[in-house]
């Protein structure tokens, strides 16, 4: 009954096994852009483990039904409707052939079968397969697939699908065909086909057991010179999964295909991964160091899905984090191992810091708003809206906690048992947890709460040192603070939190750790406390001096730690903590505290000032040549405006911007000589190298340049940036120089040099869409001023001939960059940003609901903003709510307004 108000909510509790199973699928495609014919022959039988249904209900969307045959005879009792096809009174076991039509040329949703750049591509996760043919389009229905592709040979010389190529040949009328077979059972969301004018970089490698594998990276011909890094990343991924998890590539051939119209990063279709070009194409002239790192991570991620996702898949979409959280964890570990091996803790920490920054800035914000949900959600309206930071990034933290609790070896044992039990199955997050628990002889019932409770836990810490007894006690208390209503409903009790700590002595070295009841101190000076109660005290004995606690080392759990450090203590930790993550964290805490104080002052018009001691703490990091450049870059980068605004009682983007700019200017002016020295010292002359060391130097040097661009007199920065722009032999340096030029003179309405560089950049890279995306993004995220608000620049760029709303990368480069990555300009008091946002959400909704829904999320935290902005935000949300049609956007704006 309660369901009548919200008829379209899908609930985890309602899961029921499918009434029918499909064992084999033979698909035949006659590929024509406006009118593709799909013939689908399936072996269907009743599911012995489900309750009996007379009718077979297949899902289907945007299909034109042509006809059905059952066991070879025409079947009249098939009724097509808006959501699929109903077949009345079917037998227990039969062959079903369905014929239907679809229109890939007009498919702008980029879900199902679509045309991009004149070629055919598919995207089936989560529910796109039903836009290709009628099917039981749910992940617990697994079948083996044979696929025959037929198309005009001149237009579509390459025909690809999952698995192994069985045969290919010519047909009459200039057509040809290819037949593919995937030997592994798979759910429909892992189906893929590609057809068109593409070329491949090929490599043959031997896998661990000595079998030869063919690896291919397919791209448009002019992009072949940008495939080497993706191929190297693939080979490294294959080696890494063998070495770290004993997992081998199971197909003879593994293909990656790049497409420029794509809703997300990439897709793990069995043996035929389809990627956004952004995560494949790179050479030093077109891609930044960050792009190179992202490509390595995403190639790894999709490759690792072959075991965590494909061989063992999800029973239903509520279990999405089973594959995504686990696979993000695996790609994070892969990147850390590639950067620092298993033992270089400082290099590994760089990756950890970057990942935690993303988690805290994006996932914590999600958990504090109307879209808050547990890692395993309880309900959804549109599953595409639940490919979230929580499912991916918090899900990865949940997996990481098993490893923190059991060690690498214990985690590996759990993974081995998981595959032993579940290879070839569609399973749940509980199955994963049970495998980890059983392999390590542990009861992990309490740990389940990490999957079912939303919101970010807070751990507050009280410490007490007893000089006479030499005892040090640490009392931890956990709770959720003031959680958003969506999260509060899910919160039932305390979590098992692996809380890693160290105790630091007066000389900056770690003290030995001996918990009360232990015979002696252990060797390790970092200890993982298992914190399971609402409040719990851990007492250390034989503590010779009052220590300074280093809390939540390496960010051992996705929580907020509350502890009253003094500014001096934070400066001490920043200089000495033996845990590189916490060393960085101390600097962030120090900066965050100062910045929030300043933002509070800015909001009330009080003049700003910054203590010399804070400047001195940053100066020490800047000039400490014993620290790695990449660490220094991360430590000297201030917390983002979005993160800071989130920490305020009432988010005030203008005040945060003023405070952050004040601190940047203060650090720039006070440490001008040091920034200049660092800038000179960390240049990387000569040929471009993509190593972590070289990219660390570039990162620190370019951070120095960005600080120099804040100097009261920008002339010097403009001179340096212009020279760097002209001399650059790589995109990292060229785009950093352009960004510095744009920002150096923003307050004065821009500079000639900035305009010249912008024009040069466009001309130079006109034929490189991914670089033109950067050109749009740099302008959308640049600093603005009262005379020159960025919204005006963005509006002009919307009319630029190179702008195209239908291409998600381009839409993201301009619209999302402005709405989500330039907060002080987007949240202009006159509401111009919100009006722009509403127009774009509405326009995108008609083209591509998935992309529109992502953009719609940029106003979801509206209730947390300062009252002067709230009304404008609500009005914009209401306008969108009254005009959009898609389920995707409706779910977002209705939850935001509820």
**E strands present in 785-896:** none
* Residue 523, phi then psi, degrees to nearest 5: -70, -40
Segment 859 to 898, residues that bind ligand TRP, using CB under 6 A:
none
In this structure, are residues 668 and 617 in contact, taking their beta carbons and an 8 Å threshold?
Answer: no
Residue 140 contacts which entry, Zn ion, ligand TRP, none (Cβ below 5-8 A, type-dependent): none
Longest dimension (CA), the chain: 95
Which region, judged by CB under 6 A, interacts with ligand TRP, from 260-268, 470-478, 664-672, 841-849? 260-268
| Distance, CA of 873 to CA of 868 (rounded, Å) | 10
Selected from 263, 313, 491, 724, the binder of ligand TRP by CB under 6 A is 263
Number of residues binding to ligand TRP, judged by CB under 6 A: 12
Residue 264 interacts with ligand TRP (CB under 6 A): yes or no = yes
Q: Which is nearer to ligand TRP, 191 or 675 (CB)?
A: 191
Spell out, one character per residue from 552 to 591, where the chain touches ligand TRP: x when CB under 6 A holds, - when not: ----------------------------------------
* Residue 636, phi then psi, degrees to nearest 5: -90, -5
| Distance, CA of 632 to CA of 615 (rounded, Å) | 15
Which region, judged by CB under 6 A, interacts with ligand TRP, from 101-109, 119-127, 563-571, 822-830? 119-127
Residue written as token pair 């045969």:
167
Residue 563 contacts which entry, ligand TRP, Zn ion, none (Cβ below 5-8 A, type-dependent): none
| Distance, CA of 361 to CA of 206 (rounded, Å) | 41
SS3 state of residue 577: coil
| Distance, CA of 758 to CA of 763 (rounded, Å) | 9
Residue 264 contacts which entry, Zn ion, ligand TRP, none (Cβ below 5-8 A, type-dependent): ligand TRP
Q: Which is nearer to Zn ion, 327 or 813 (CB)?
A: 327
Q: Which is nearer to ligand TRP, 123 or 661 (CB)?
A: 123
Residue 714 Cβ vs ligand TRP, minimum distance, rounded to whole Å: 42
Closest CA to 186 of 148, 140, 147: 140
| Distance, CA of 740 to CA of 362 (rounded, Å) | 25
Q: Which is nearer to ligand TRP, 130 or 301 (CB)?
A: 301
41 token code pair: 């022959």
| Distance, CA of 366 to CA of 363 (rounded, Å) | 5
State the catalytic residue, choosing from 302, 397, 585, 710: 302
In this structure, are residues 771 and 765 in contact, taking their beta carbons and an 8 Å threshold?
Answer: yes
Q: What share of the chain is helix, strand, coil (3-state, %, to 5)?
A: 45, 20, 35
Q: Which is nearer to ligand TRP, 399 or 728 (CB)?
A: 399
Residue written as token pair 């057991």:
209
Q: Which is nearer to Zn ion, 324 or 579 (CB)?
A: 324
Closest CA to 868 of 818, 837, 828: 828
Instruction: Report how far Cα 16 is from the mean position of its chain's Cα atoms.
Output: 30
Selected from 37, 62, 357, 387, the binder of ligand TRP by CB under 6 A is 387
Segment 289 to 328, residues that bind Zn ion, using CB under 5 A:
324, 327
Residue 387 contacts which entry, Zn ion, ligand TRP, none (Cβ below 5-8 A, type-dependent): ligand TRP
Point out the residue whose Cβ comes nearest to ligand TRP. 264
Q: Which is nearer to ligand TRP, 99 or 310 (CB)?
A: 310
Q: Which is nearer to ligand TRP, 330 or 827 (CB)?
A: 330
Residue 403 contacts which entry, Zn ion, ligand TRP, none (Cβ below 5-8 A, type-dependent): none
**b/e per residue 435-472 (b: at least 16 CB within 10 A):** bbbbbbebebeebebbbbbbbbbbbbbebeeeeeeeeb
Measured CA distances, 580 to 74, 115, 347, 512, 627 (Å): 69, 48, 9, 18, 10
Selected from 301, 632, 812, 854, the binder of ligand TRP by CB under 6 A is 301
Residue 415 Cβ vs Zn ion, minimum distance, rounded to whole Å: 17
Spell out, one character per residue from 310 to 349, where the chain touches ligand TRP: x when CB under 6 A holds, - when not: --------------x-------------------------
For the CA atoms of 730, 304, 183, 124, the dihedral, rounded to the nearest 10 degrees, stands at -70
Selected from 28, 125, 431, 579, the binder of ligand TRP by CB under 6 A is 125
For the CA atoms of 6, 8, 10, 14, the dihedral, rounded to the nearest 10 degrees, stands at 70
**Bridge-based pairing state of the strands 527-531 and 497-504:** antiparallel
| Distance, CA of 440 to CA of 411 (rounded, Å) | 8
For the CA atoms of 276, 893, 131, 22, the dihedral, rounded to the nearest 10 degrees, stands at 100
Angle at 665 between CA 664 and CA 670, to 5 degrees: 105
Residue 295 Cβ vs ligand TRP, minimum distance, rounded to whole Å: 14
Q: Which is nearer to ligand TRP, 126 or 552 (CB)?
A: 126
Residue 809 Cβ vs Zn ion, minimum distance, rounded to whole Å: 19
Which region, judged by CB under 6 A, interacts with ligand TRP, from 118-126, 147-155, 512-520, 559-567? 118-126
Instruction: Report how far Cα 798 is from the mean position of its chain's Cα atoms.
Output: 26
Residue 352 contacts which entry, Zn ion, ligand TRP, none (Cβ below 5-8 A, type-dependent): none
Residue 716 annotated among the catalytic residues of the structure: no
Residue 137 contacts which entry, ligand TRP, Zn ion, none (Cβ below 5-8 A, type-dependent): none
Which region, judged by CB under 6 A, interacts with ligand TRP, from 18-26, 262-270, 510-518, 617-625? 262-270
Residue 140 Cβ vs ligand TRP, minimum distance, rounded to whole Å: 17
Q: Which stretches of the chain bind Zn ion, using CB under 5 A?
A: 324, 327
- Catalytic residues, by residue number, are 302
Name the site residues for ligand TRP (rule: CB under 6 A): 123, 125-126, 263-264, 266-268, 301-302, 324, 387
């Amino acid at each position: 009954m309660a369901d009548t108000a919200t008829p379209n909510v899908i609930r985890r509790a309602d899961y029921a096994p499918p009434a029918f199973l499909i064992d084999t699928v033979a698909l035949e495609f006659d590929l024509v852009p406006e009118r593709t014919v799909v013939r689908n022959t399936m072996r269907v039988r009743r599911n012995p483990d489900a309750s009996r249904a007379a009718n077979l209900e297949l899902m289907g969307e945007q299909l034109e039904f042509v006809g059905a045959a059952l066991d070879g005879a025409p079947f009249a009792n098939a009724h097509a409707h808006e959501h699929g096809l109903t077949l009345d009174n079917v037998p227990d076991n039969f062959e079903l052939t369905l014929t239907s039509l679809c229109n890939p040329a007009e498919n702008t949703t980029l879900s199902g079968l679509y045309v991009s750049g004149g070629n055919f591509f598919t995207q089936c996760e989560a529910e796109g397969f039903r836009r290709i043919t009628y099917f039981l389009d749910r992940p617990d229905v697994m079948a083996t697939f044979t696929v025959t592709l037929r198309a005009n040979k001149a237009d579509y010389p390459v025909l690809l699908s999952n698995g192994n190529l069985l045969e290919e040949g010519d047909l009459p009328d200039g057509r040809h065909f290819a037949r593919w077979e995937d030997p592994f059972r798979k759910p429909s969301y892992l189906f893929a086909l590609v057809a068109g004018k593409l070329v491949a970089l090929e490599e043959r490698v031997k896998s661990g057991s000595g079998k030869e594998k063919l690896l291919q990276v397919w791209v448009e011909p002019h992009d072949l010179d940008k495939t080497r890094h993706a191929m190297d990343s693939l080979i490294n991924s294959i080696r890494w999964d063998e070495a770290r998890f004993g997992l081998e590539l199971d197909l003879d051939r593994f293909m990656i295909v790049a497409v420029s119209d794509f809703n997300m990063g990439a897709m793990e279709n069995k043996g035929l991964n389809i990627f956004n070009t952004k995560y494949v194409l790179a050479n030093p002239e077109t891609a930044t160091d960050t792009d190179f790192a992202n490509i390595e991570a995403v190639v790894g991620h999709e490759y690792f899905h072959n075991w965590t996702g494909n061989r063992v898949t999800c029973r239903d979409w509520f279990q999405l984090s089973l594959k995504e959280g686990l696979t993000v964890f695996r790609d994070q570990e892969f990147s850390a191992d590639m950067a620092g091996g298993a033992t270089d803790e400082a290099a590994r920490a760089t990756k950890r810091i970057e990942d935690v920054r993303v988690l805290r800035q994006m996932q914590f914000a999600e958990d504090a708003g109307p879209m808050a949900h547990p890692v395993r959600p309880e309900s959804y309206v549109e599953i595409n809206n639940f490919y979230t930071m929580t499912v991916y990034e918090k899900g990865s933290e949940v997996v990481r906690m098993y490893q923190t609790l059991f060690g690498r070896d214990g985690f590996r044992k759990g993974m081995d048992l998981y595959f032993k039990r579940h290879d070839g199955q569609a399973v749940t997050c509980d199955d994963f947890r049970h495998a980890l628990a059983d392999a390590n002889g542990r009861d992990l019932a309490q740990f389940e709460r990490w999957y079912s409770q939303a919101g970010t836990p807070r751990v507050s810490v009280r410490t007490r040192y007893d000089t006479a007894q030499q005892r040090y006690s640490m009392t931890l208390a956990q709770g959720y603070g003031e959680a958003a209503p969506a999260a509060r409903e899910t919160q039932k009790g305390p979590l098992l939190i692996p809380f890693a700590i160290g105790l630091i002595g007066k000389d900056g070295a770690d003290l030995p750790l001996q918990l009360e009841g232990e015979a002696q101190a252990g060797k390790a000076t970092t200890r993982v406390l298992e914190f399971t109660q609402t409040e719990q005290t851990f007492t250390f004995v034989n503590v010779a001096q009052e220590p300074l606690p280093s809390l939540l080392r390496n960010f051992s759990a996705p929580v907020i730690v509350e502890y009253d450090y003094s500014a001096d203590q934070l400066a001490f930790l920043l200089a000495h903590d033996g845990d590189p993550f916490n060393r960085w964290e101390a600097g962030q805490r120090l900066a965050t505290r100062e910045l929030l104080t300043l933002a509070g002052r800015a909001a009330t018009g009080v003049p700003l000032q910054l203590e010399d001691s804070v400047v001195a703490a940053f100066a020490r990091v800047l000039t400490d040549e014993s620290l790695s450049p990449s660490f220094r870059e991360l430590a000297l980068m201030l917390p983002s405006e979005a993160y800071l605004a989130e920490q305020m009682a009432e988010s005030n983007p203008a005040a945060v911007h003023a405070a952050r700019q004040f601190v940047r200017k203060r650090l720039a002016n006070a440490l001008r000589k040091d920034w200049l020295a660092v800038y000179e010292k960390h240049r990387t002359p000569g040929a471009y190298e993509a190593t972590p060391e070289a990219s660390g130097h570039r990162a620190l040097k370019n951070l120095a340049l960005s600080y120099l661009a804040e100097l009261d007199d920008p002339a010097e920065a403009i001179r340096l940036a212009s020279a760097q722009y002209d001399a650059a032999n790589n995109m990292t340096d060229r785009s950093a120089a352009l960004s510095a030029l744009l920002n150096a003179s923003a307050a004065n309405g821009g500079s000639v040099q900035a305009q010249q560089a912008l024009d040069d950049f466009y001309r130079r890279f006109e034929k490189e869409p991914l670089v033109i995306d950067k050109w749009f993004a740099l302008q959308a995220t640049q600093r603005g001023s009262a005379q020159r608000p960025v919204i005006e620049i963005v509006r002009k760029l919307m009319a630029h001939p190179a702008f195209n709303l239908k291409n998600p990368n381009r839409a993201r480069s301009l619209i999302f960059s402005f709405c989500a990555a330039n907060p002080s300009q987007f949240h202009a008091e006159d509401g111009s940003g919100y009006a722009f946002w509403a127009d774009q959400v509405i326009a995108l909704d008609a083209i591509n609901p998935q992309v529109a829904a992502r953009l719609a999320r940029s106003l979801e935290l509206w209730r947390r903003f300062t009252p002067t902005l709230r009304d404008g935000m609500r009005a914009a949300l209401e306008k969108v709510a009254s005009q959009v049609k898609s389920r995707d956007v409706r779910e977002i704006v209705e939850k935001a307004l509820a």
